[in-house]
Structure 1
């Protein structure tokens, strides 16, 4: 099924008509070279530069085939090296299945530490994926580095907030910065008759350049072990294959989709007061998320947590007993943890005594500045350290007292100048660290037989996190409507990561980061709650500066709006359960890009601010201030009904609909209006 075509000094390898690589002497498929990088980290933000000393096109090659049609190709620095059969790179193609082909790569000279690979495309072919991308859905026309980091504050070099963040904390970020990068992308063939995806098996820094008309150039700072192609006729088929490859997530438990998770961080008395009041106001509540369960510390950034991961008796007295009381009311309790331990807490001393902390190169303590406090790095290259964190902290201090979920924060902070126990290069471990962190959390659940019952949620990720992490959240968006760091960024984040096998996504309602006078408004909170209604999990957050920012209980209108959104969210549960089943069996995300089901409609290729919820509902959140109308594109080949007005529209056009607060643009496929799992929801929208 692999086809090799060779003519003079050119060749191509294709699979059932889909071109994998194309090589000519003047435009080689591979370039190798030598580079010298500089990487400076400041609190999870990286300034990365590369000096390329050499870049050599590998034009000389020799092809070998055998009876089983295995294709192996040696590449040489030049014809002289070919004459003495001294290859610098060998690739081999293997058909893994009728939808998956792997190209292994073997380097023969470690002095060359850079590789560029070109894959064929055409000028108009869209590109999707890349992990969790928060600025753009179609990646065509830009380059995307793959390095897990803080995404930045503002993420737009033209704005004051980004400039100020850059000046003060080196933390402004840009369009490509993300907690969860992944060197995997999806595109369409030139004939548009097939869909393909390419994944690079590497944890090293990579940069994919999608700016060229006839090729993509994939750059790696270490030779990847292989490239994998997935080929199918549909995007849904590709997503099924990708989700199988990385591992599918467990089902979300019923309790977390059955109401809002209230994020509170002022101690038990505050949480009890807010819960009682919310229930009286009609808010459907599934859980309390008290991230300050382990205590707090005040910093110039705002209210931070005490990173020791034990219940703080002063803030949460008799926590185990209180959790039991909450459970009797069908309310779960969620907490917070991350893979670092503050040096002024007892857990750090325990981990250090056991030899489980990463060190300086000379073996001395390595402590990371997290903003006015320092932490040690638990070394997850030590199997016993992973076991210790799982058992000693997550199981004993959390699960054993009834905590049934938590934010598993960070993962993207591994410094690149420390010493790991296995002597591996931290630059090659850095991208892998979120996956190791997810494994620690997933192991704790499995050990207590809580997989599919308890839930942890992460913002950091990389290839393979899908298998371990049951729920993503969009990270620390600014508390505003800004284009590259506000409400709207949550949508492409869900869509891009969803295409790569992450079925479940949600965000902090109202955003998190409040700096430089930027504060949350009631309007922002209400619009964010409207969007969160159409995600599997609704969860609020008081943000980093709670006293300066709007909270939903401070305004009667916002409170009533939030209560209604939670009631509609609960009314959607029967429908969401069908989507969870689909995610479990097929890996399809709950929030889907329009192109997933309408891939022949080119108008859907770039849409980043609308999505399908399942296949029946189309959601177009309002993400700008003082906007009471929205234009919405309705895909071709289908008629759509606007749920608030019952007006029917034919697909293939852009329509403008009124969108006052409380009535975000939502459409249902006309032939699904009688879907019984949507009956209660549709009825409640008319109430």
Structure 2
């Protein structure tokens, strides 16, 4: 039930309260609201955006007068109703709104969708625009600078596939901007949580609770909860191989090594093309000539795997290469976005090949892609899951079938893409059985996408684009209603001589075993990089941790059922369970797996020990040694093969946790 917004006049200004907490404070000499006219300047290169603005005619709205539903300013009005605020400019030419929500000294802020670099957002500014995150994401590194020079592709700490204009604070309130336009969450001012909106109207939804778990539950209820993951997805590892028909032979090596295998993921099922970036897929999502050449008798092989309890997974995205067989069919059906001022297809350069953008604003097109591609070409052939890639690339200068502004449509594109995938599953009765996973998202994707993956991390330990960012991604996205996250085990992006090490692959196995889904990836340059079947040692490592992942399945099933009821994520920031300790608010490199298991992955190269925070007032038991540790901060030994993992001895699942060393050694 929506909570009532309370108005209170104060010192010539006013306050708005929710649940007894001030959410907005206005005074004529310190206004909470301003408006302006914007002059946007936008450039895109393969999903990397440069967005600038030159606002003019800015008005800081100080003087106000009360109305029956809110207050009026010179040029705008602020209205409120149960659970929300609406700002509207009198003149729609004023298309920039700046609003300052109240902040208390020392208040911590989280949210922003899936953030890679920071869990606590306080002190930083975060544009809300789905895009490629970039390679390196750190302007001080040579890799990031080189990628910037090569096509604006270096990124920064705030770039993300999945932004969401929602923030939570340590006063246990949350604010959500219910709009898909470009916006900015700005937490650089310690006395205000500022939001910039590129629109002449903005609706903000407000939430308040007595603690973080209830607040996260409210947000999950607002955006939609995922169905429980199927048993097969959590009961073993999904091996990612993309070497054509030989992938099936390579899978047998994993089986012979004693790995617990639930799936084989071949993203190259539809064919490949070689580019300077590396081995890319041929974007024609069907069993056509290229697929048949690369994977002969694929349907029979899929059926044979299924008889062994191994699912086959594939890949799709919402674009078609203009040299693909399906492109002609889509063209004839009117399924592509068009150029402005003409009926020509708008083509996007994806790096040495051009693609048409499927226009999901058109109902017939959504039906066509869900039925013709995902239904007939994939689900009907026995494919039980896929990477639903991309969704971030919608240009801002094309023409959409429904006449909507691409600037407004850009952020909601991943949600439309997720809806099409979910529709395909539902059409075959496969919801909760088959699984697709996405990296792109925005507000509302939670209602359609059953599983996130953290995108294309570099194959290294770097601070802003390496292995550690997948933890931050899971924790931040979980706070806004996404129960399930996982990553490319082993990383993905290998450029400019940056290649995998044995240590990285082993550490990523340790991390991936303690996620709802464990799935490996060969990366963008598989021939240049170590793979899990490159050496007996790496193969044995993957097998060991796949067994640990499988041994945790009963616990993960209980967490998954809990998520379906409450919306709580499986991987949780420490403060979610221990909200009274501010020292936990910014911890981003360890997490609670449910409430009973503490996981502190090693994400620094060469580290053989790490600090671990054990919260609460009861002992925690070290999984590998059985030794009990008192609450507090400890330096814990962490040799390769023994990441710091602890459990509550009184947990009803303690027997599962105590059995993990046996699973590891089997």
Compute the TM-score of the two structures, normalised by the length of structure 2.
Answer: 0.97
Whether 1:638 aligns to 2:625 is no
Whether 1:130 aligns to 2:112 is yes
Deviations 1:75-107 (A, max 9, x none): 21xxxxxxxxxxx32232222xxxxx1112333
Task: Give the corresponding residue for 1:74.
Answer: 72
Structure 1 residues 2 and 353, CA gap change in structure 2 (3 angstroms) = closer
Task: Give the corresponding residue for 1:85.
Answer: none
1:537 to 510, 517, 530: 517
Which whole-Å CA distance do the structure 2 matches of 1:508 and 1:328 have between them?
A: 26
Whether 1:56 aligns to 2:59 is yes
Which whole-Å CA distance do the structure 1 matches of 2:286 and 2:586 have between them?
A: 46
CA positional deviation for 1:355: 1.2
1:656 to 635, 643, 647: 635
CA positional deviation for 1:505: 0.3
Deviations 1:176-210 (A, max 9, x none): 00000000011022xxxxx1111001111111110
Deviations 1:547-599 (A, max 9, x none): 10000111222211111101111110110000000111001111000010011
| Maintained 8 Å contact 1:572/1:680 | no
CA positional deviation for 1:12: 0.7
- Measured on the aligned residues, the alpha-carbon RMSD in Å equals 1.3
Task: Give the corresponding residue for 2:546.
Answer: 566
Which 5+ residue runs of structure 2 have no aligned equivalent?
none
Which stretch has the larger CA shift, 132-141 or 207-216? 207-216
Which whole-Å CA distance do the structure 2 matches of 1:446 and 1:302 have between them?
A: 35
Task: Give the corresponding residue for 1:217.
Answer: 194
Whether 1:169 aligns to 2:148 is no
Deviations 1:633-654 (A, max 9, x none): 1113232111122222221x21
Task: Give the corresponding residue for 1:94.
Answer: 81
Whether 1:245 aligns to 2:222 is yes
Which stretch has the larger CA shift, 253-262 or 49-58? 49-58
Whether 1:258 aligns to 2:245 is no
| Maintained 8 Å contact 2:648/2:654 | no
Which whole-Å CA distance do the structure 2 matches of 1:561 and 1:436 have between them?
A: 39
1:290 to 258, 266, 269: 266
CA positional deviation for 1:682: 5.8
Deviations 1:586-629 (A, max 9, x none): 01111000010011111101101000000001111001111111
Which whole-Å CA distance do the structure 1 matches of 2:244 and 2:41 have between them?
A: 43
Compute the TM-score of the two structures, normalised by the length of structure 1.
Answer: 0.94
CA positional deviation for 1:685: 5.5
3-state DSSP class of the match of 1:543? coil
| Maintained 8 Å contact 1:91/1:104 | yes
- Once the two structures are superposed, the pairs formed by residues 149-548 of structure 1 within 5 Å of their partners are 149-189=131-171, 195-268=172-245, 270-311=246-287, 312-363=291-342, 364-548=344-528
CA positional deviation for 1:490: 0.3
Which whole-Å CA distance do the structure 2 matches of 1:686 and 1:545 have between them?
A: 32
Which whole-Å CA distance do the structure 1 matches of 2:48 and 2:337 have between them?
A: 20
Deviations 1:234-277 (A, max 9, x none): 11101111011001011111001111111111112x11111111
Which whole-Å CA distance do the structure 1 matches of 2:41 and 2:367 have between them?
A: 34
- Ranges of 4+ aligned residues in structure 1 off by more than 6 Å: none
| Maintained 8 Å contact 1:115/1:220 | yes
Length, aligned pairs only: 659
Deviations 1:307-354 (A, max 9, x none): 010121111111111111110000100000000000001211111111
Deviations 1:144-171 (A, max 9, x none): 0000000000000000110111111210
Which whole-Å CA distance do the structure 1 matches of 2:318 and 2:176 have between them?
A: 27
Which whole-Å CA distance do the structure 2 matches of 1:350 and 1:130 have between them?
A: 39
Which whole-Å CA distance do the structure 2 matches of 1:51 and 1:162 have between them?
A: 27
| Maintained 8 Å contact 1:632/1:654 | yes
